[in-house]
Amino acid sequence: MTTEQRIVEPRLLRGFRDYLPAQMNARQKMIATIRQVYERYGFLPLDTPAQEYRVTLMGYGEENTKQIFGFINPEEEDVALRFDLTVPLARVVAQYPDLPLPFRRYQVAPVWRADKPDPGRFREFLQFDLDSVGVSSNAADVEILCGMYDTLRALGIEHFKVRFSDRKVLNSLLDFAGIPREMAHGVFRVLDKLEKVGLENISAELTTGRTDVSGDKIPGLGLSAAAVDRIKEFLAMPRGKRKDVLADMSKLFARVPSAVEAVTELQFMCDALDSLAIPDEQVALDLSIARGLDYYTGPVFEAILTDAPEFGSVFGGGRYDGLVERFLGRKIPAVGASIGVDRLFAAMQKLGLVHLVPSTAQVLVTVMEPARMHDYLKLARMLRAEGINTELYLGEESGLGKQLQYANRLQIPVAIILGSDEFAANEVTVKDLLLGASLQDRKKNAKGKERDEYLVLSRKAQVKVAASECLACVREILSRPRPA
């Protein structure tokens, strides 16, 4: 082998991954379920390019700017890969003035962030967004919350909590604690770490600073003890029913004029959720949320799976009334939320809510007589024309046993066997592979009544029928109930 022909080592870039067929099948089923919910709400599909001009993506916070994958394209233009789907949406709304408002869209697509790769953190990942643009009413915020709730339920997740608050609550907290508004970003960034590092460490970061577990020094914000006491008073408010949390906040901020708007917005949302019978246990008012500080101007939302809290927020968003302004010079109200598809998929896998099936085929047509390949091709085509996913075995193995092993490995439920005997009699043998596999364990210990049941089922596991009855037999087997 010459130098030019040397073997290239197959390897992945850091921060990227492959999804093999079993994972892709489950992932696509999950995406189809989410899409169904979004379309039930009337959201419309949208797609945008992976690349944007770099200037389009700039100006949305220091963290996002640092994570941009940028490069010069062949036309020597400064471009970048999108880091989310919301900024491209804002660009679309500004660029197409004929779009009817409100514009309600959903989009599922990959995004890229030049983040430090860690377990569970990748540089390319899939997001699935739903957004309402051009709606100032908080009814749109309620619909996003309901959409989050309905989506998680549709995915079969029982134990989750959607939490919501309002960015204006945090602004009122600054006024309550006597903290200048220009310190907002630093204060909220620290508060956002509350669940990760605890109240004591938060207090240290707000005042004199602290040393983290790695020995690194984290400088403090220099707030007064009185200001931190006010923040602690806010954080100590009990959590519970939405109306009780709102009443406690109203009482605490009774002398803070800026809190009136936040209370009004949250009151409307709480009343709407109550009228829709959305349970407090799964959609809760949580005033401690501090997320998306470079984006959000009003209500904010995030969802966690209570049985897998280590995955953090799997679904989050909020109101971003100022995002389109950068392109148009005027505000257009907007609200939305985004699922981190890969993170949610990983969490669902851990919880046993993902069924990995390595094939899309429902039937494998085995090939016992290669000289009659045209007949096998016709049979496979007939089944496909009837809407049945069918794979024709085209491998090198000629033995039936190896072909059935192939089908079992891919969890294909049905095999059709057509050999010389079947051709001569104008018949086919149809095998229920899932039932056959389940009978293997029963066979060893079957006695008495169990033995009789085994014999009945074994006769159903493999049947020989006339060629004209092949389709009906396949349909009957595919319709059989299977264990979950």
| pLDDT, position 290 | 74
Give 96 or 237, the one with higher predicted confidence: 96
Q: Which helix (H) or strand (E) holds 474?
A: helix 470-478
| pLDDT, position 116 | 82
Cα 284–chain centre separation: 20
| pLDDT, position 450 | 58
* Residue at which a domain ends, from 294, 322, 350: 350
CA distance 309 to 347: 9
CA distance 198 to 345: 28
CA distance 154 to 33: 7
* Global confidence as pTM: 0.89
Region 26-49: mean pLDDT is: 98
Q: CATH number, domain at 404?
A: 3.40.50.800
> 320-345 pLDDT, tens per residue?
998 888 899 898 999 999 999 999 99
pLDDT class of 454 with cuts at 50, 70, 90: low
Residue 422: name the closest of 369, 477, 362, 364 by CA.
369
Long-range contacts made by residues 186-189, C-beta under 8 angstroms, separation at least 24?
186/221, 187/221, 187/223, 187/231, 188/290, 188/293, 189/290, 189/293
Q: 391 and 246 in one domain?
A: no
Q: 369 and 343 in one domain?
A: no
Cα 105–chain centre separation: 16
3-state secondary structure of 111: strand
Find the Cα–Cα–Cα–Cα dihedral 251, 253, 259, 263, rounded to 10°: -20
| pLDDT, position 213 | 81
Residue 93: name the closest of 285, 417, 259, 336 by CA.
336
Q: 374 and 263 in one domain?
A: no
pLDDT class of 292 with cuts at 50, 70, 90: low
Largest Cα–Cα separation, the chain:
94
Q: CATH number, domain at 122?
A: 3.30.930.10
- Comparing 13-22, 113-122, 192-201, which segment has the lowest mean pLDDT? 113-122
* Residue at which a domain ends, from 350, 383, 408: 350
Q: Supply the range of the domain harboring residue 396.
A: 363-478
Region 187-207: mean pLDDT is: 86
| pLDDT, position 364 | 98
Res 443 pLDDT > 60: no
Q: 163 and 34 in one domain?
A: yes
pLDDT class of 273 with cuts at 50, 70, 90: very high
> 132-165 pLDDT, tens per residue?
999 999 999 999 999 999 999 999 999 999 999 9
Q: 371 and 252 in one domain?
A: no
Res 233 pLDDT > 70: yes
CA distance 150 to 154: 6
pLDDT class of 119 with cuts at 50, 70, 90: low
pLDDT class of 289 with cuts at 50, 70, 90: confident
Share of residues in the chain with pLDDT > 70 (%): 93
CA distance 353 to 369: 41
Q: What is the mean pLDDT of the chain?
A: 91
> 95-115 pLDDT, tens per residue?
999 999 999 999 999 999 998
Q: 257 and 367 in one domain?
A: no
Any domain includes 218: no
pLDDT class of 447 with cuts at 50, 70, 90: low
Q: 368 and 310 in one domain?
A: no
Q: 332 and 308 in one domain?
A: yes
Any domain includes 470: yes
Residue 131 · residue 102 · CB < 8 Å: no
pLDDT class of 457 with cuts at 50, 70, 90: low
Q: Is 415 exposed, middle or buried (0-12, 13-18, 19+ CB in 10 A)?
A: buried
Region 450-455: mean pLDDT is: 56
| pLDDT, position 404 | 95
| pLDDT, position 80 | 96
* Residue at which a domain ends, from 303, 318, 350: 350
| pLDDT, position 446 | 52
What's the number of CA atoms in the CB half-sphere (13 Å) around residue 131?
A: 32
Q: 171 and 313 in one domain?
A: yes
Residue 284 · residue 54 · CB < 8 Å: no
CA distance 57 to 77: 14
CA distance 483 to 475: 18
Res 196 pLDDT > 70: yes
